[in-house]
Amino acid sequence: MLRALLLTLSVVAIAHAELCKPDAQNAFKVRISIKTALGDNAYAWDANEEYLFKAMVAFAMRRYSSKSTTQISNVLLCNVTDRVSFWFVVTDSSKNVTTIPGSEVEAAIRMNRNRINNAFLLSDKTLQFLKITSTLSPPVEPSTPAWLIVFGVVLCLIVVGIVFLVVSGIQKRKKKNKESTESENLEEKVEVTVTLENGIPCEVLDLKSGHVNGVFAADDERFTSL
């Protein structure tokens, strides 16, 4: 009885070793960089983490194919290194000693990549499935590009400034025109009061430039009195 048990166990072990080895068919290499992702909060990679990994892969397979046949024991890990990298393969429990096709595993992992990453507090870059490319999330595009809003603000400020300067310039010019017309009117009024005599202003004549004609300056005795 014990011998039979040992025999089956060794057969299973050998079968597993056959199924899970580097570059085996339908096997995937995983590379984990815990220290890069978490720094001081890094946890150590031990058997418990491996158990969680197997559970997550089984969960992914179940969710993808929505039949609850995949067990944790179906996920085989091998060649774990200090880097933390290892190979894994998913066996089919219904058929003996075969692995689930790589494309199915890939699709299942892709679908649940986010959940798997979060379980380990890692990201696409620090938990790498080497043959599975990740779909990159599109950048968040707001409906109006941000630069257009800033540009609108800047342009409004400039237009307000220009309008203000132009209007103040026009107002200043109007005031200057009004002032100059007022001062012109004042000059005209001053001119009107100047009296003219034969084209010469009288004030000038009062100055010394005029001469008194001695002949007509009255020597009154020459004329006979009436």
Partner 1 sequence: LSATPEIPKEDERPKWDNKFQYILSCIGFAVGLGNVWRFPYLCQIHGGGAFLVPYFIALLFEGIPLLHLELALGQCLRKGSIGAWNTISPYLGGVGVGSWVVSVLVSLYYNTVLTWVMWYFINSFQEPLPWSVCPLNENRTGFNKECYESTAVNYFWYRKTLNITPDITESGTLQWWLILCLAACWAIVYLCTIRGIETTGKAIYVTAIFPYLVLTIFLIQGLTLPGATDGLAYLFTPNLNTLKNPRVWLDAATQIFFSLSLAFGGLIAFSSYNPPKNDCEKDAVTVAIVNSMTSLYASIPVFSVLGFKATTAYWDCLDRNIISIINEFDLPEESIMRDNYTSWISLLNLSHPEKIAGLKLKSCDLQEFLDQSVSGTGLAFIVFTQAIILMPGSQAWAILFFIMLFCLGLSSMFGNIEGVFTPLLELQIVSKSAPKELLSGIICLISFFIALCFTLGSGSYWIDIFDRYAGSVPLLVVAFFEVIGVVYIYKIKRFSKDVKQMTGRKLNLYWQITWRFISPLLLLIVFMAFITLQMQKPPSYTAWNPKYEGFPMKEEKVYPPWVQAICVLLAALPCVCVPLVALFHLIKKCRSKDPSIAPPEIFSCQGANS
Q: Considering only residues 137-176, where is the footprint of partner 1 by CB under 8 A?
A: 138-139, 146-147, 150-151, 154-155, 158-159, 161-162, 165-166, 169-170, 173
Q: Which residues contact 221 (CB under 8 A, 6 or more apart)?
A: none
CB atoms within 10 A of CB 226: 3
**CA pair distance 58, 86, nearest whole angstrom:** 17
Nearest approach in angstroms of CB 153 to partner 1 is: 9
When asked if residue 190 is in the footprint of partner 1 (CB under 8 A), the reply is: yes
Q: For residues 73 and 161, which CB has a smaller minimum distance to partner 1 in the complex?
A: 161
When asked if residue 194 is in the footprint of partner 1 (CB under 8 A), the reply is: yes
Nearest approach in angstroms of CB 142 to partner 1 is: 9
When asked if residue 191 is in the footprint of partner 1 (CB under 8 A), the reply is: yes
When asked if residue 186 is in the footprint of partner 1 (CB under 8 A), the reply is: no
Nearest approach in angstroms of CB 165 to partner 1 is: 5
Q: For residues 161 and 210, which CB has a smaller minimum distance to partner 1 in the complex?
A: 161
| Strand arrangement of the beta sheet that strand 28-32 belongs to | 75-78, 85-90, 28-32, 127-129
CB atoms within 10 A of CB 198: 6
When asked if residue 180 is in the footprint of partner 1 (CB under 8 A), the reply is: no
Write the binding mask 8 to 47 for partner 1: x where contact by CB under 8 A, - elsewhere: -----------------------x-xxxx-----------
Q: Considering only residues 69-88, where is the footprint of partner 1 by CB under 8 A?
A: 81-85
Nearest approach in angstroms of CB 95 to partner 1 is: 33
- Residues within the interface to partner 1 (CB under 8 A): 31, 33-36, 81-85, 133, 135-136, 138-139, 146-147, 150-151, 154-155, 158-159, 161-162, 165-166, 169-170, 173, 187, 190-191, 194, 199, 201
